[in-house]
């Protein structure tokens, strides 16, 4: 199949290894799992591919099996506002699927990625019948609410180090992104896209966190030595800094 085709035309059934990397499948009964597996489709996204687009009707609940995606939207002034990155193990869009709304954000692949999709109808069948699936979705919604509240608070500050630390803490969230573990495969340029800063400024912030013994910069990625310390760095800086006028998301 030609790789020049749109992503939705490159859908295929999942492999056994890809199914193993979908965290919520383990919470289902055998019958529920069989139903879900029969409906899950996989898309092999190239860098720049759009997984979903603002204004399009919701069709799937998506998850990242491998790679890295970016969630963003465009302001009325034409500026791109990045909300968050989505690393392996992350599933997103459950609120949109629940309400059967159109997408309010763009999801774009920052690198070659493997994306799974559960059709809307299958999502609702599981939601109506599976206790394990319900608990997973509730945990997702609760964790994501906390994530965006924290992001909103920090966006009121003009502190680049806080932005970098907060973004890293978010990407290492073990509930939302269980596939990451202790090492996140990400380049400084990819992190710069997510944070909305220059690569040079991101490098300076990472060097500071490295010197504090909170992270270790490794070839091709970042290792968190203390997630609690990384989170504490974020919150302690938020609590002592003076808020500024809300400037919204930075491009």
- In the chain (251 residues long), the average pLDDT of successive 10-residue segments reads 68 96 96 97 95 94 96 76 88 94 93 96 97 96 82 68 84 90 89 89 92 88 87 49 38 37
Among positive and negative, which fits the CA dihedral 8, 9, 10, 12? positive
**Alpha-carbon gap, residue 34 to 40, rounded angstroms:** 10
Q: Which residues pair with 81 in a beta bridge?
A: 73
> What is the per-residue pLDDT across 145-189, written as a single tens digit (0 to 9) for each?
887 776 666 666 677 887 888 888 889 988 999 989 888 999 999
Mean pLDDT of the chain: 85
Evaluate if pTM is beyond 0.85: no
Q: Are 246 and 157 in contact (CB under 8 A)?
A: no
Count the Cβ atoms, other than its own, within 10 Å of residue 198. Answer: 13
User: What CATH fold (topology level) applies to the domain 158-240?
Assistant: Arc Repressor Mutant, subunit A (1.10.10)
Locate the domains of the chain by residue range. Answer: 8-147, 158-240
CATH for the stretch 8-147: 2.60.120.10
- Nearest Cα to 3, choosing from 49, 61, 56, 41? 49
Contact partners, residue 177, CB within 8 Å, separation at least 6: 86, 87, 88, 89, 90, 171
Domain pair 8-147 / 158-240, same fold: no
């Amino acid at each position: 199949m030609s790789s020049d085709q749109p992503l939705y035309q490159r859908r295929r059934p999942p492999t056994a290894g890809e199914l193993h990397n979908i965290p919520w499948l383990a919470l289902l009964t055998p019958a529920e799992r069989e139903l879900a597996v029969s409906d899950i489709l996989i898309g092999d996204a190239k860098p720049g591919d759009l997984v979903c687009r603002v204004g399009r009707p919701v069709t799937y609940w998506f998850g990242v099996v491998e790679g890295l995606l970016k969630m963003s939207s465009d302001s009325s002034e034409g500026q791109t506002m990045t909300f968050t990155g989505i690393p392996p193990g992350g599933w997103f869009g459950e609120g949109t699927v629940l309400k059967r709304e159109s997408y309010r954000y763009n999801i774009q692949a920052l690198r070659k990625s493997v994306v799974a999709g559960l059709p809307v109808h299958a999502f609702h069948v599981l939601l109506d019948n599976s206790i394990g699936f319900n608990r997973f979705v509730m945990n997702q919604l609760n964790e994501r609410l906390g994530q965006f509240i924290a992001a909103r608070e920090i966006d009121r500050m003009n502190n680049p180090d806080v932005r970098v630390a907060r973004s890293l803490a978010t990407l290492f969230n073990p509930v939302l992104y269980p596939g990451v573990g202790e090492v996140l495969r990400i380049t400084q340029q990819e992190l710069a896209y997510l944070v909305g800063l220059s690569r040079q400024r991101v490098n300076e912030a990472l060097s500071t966190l490295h010197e504090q013994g909170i992270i270790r910069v490794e070839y091709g990625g970042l290792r968190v030595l203390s997630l609690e310390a990384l989170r504490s760095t974020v919150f302690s800086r938020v609590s002592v800094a003076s808020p500024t006028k809300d400037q919204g998301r930075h491009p």
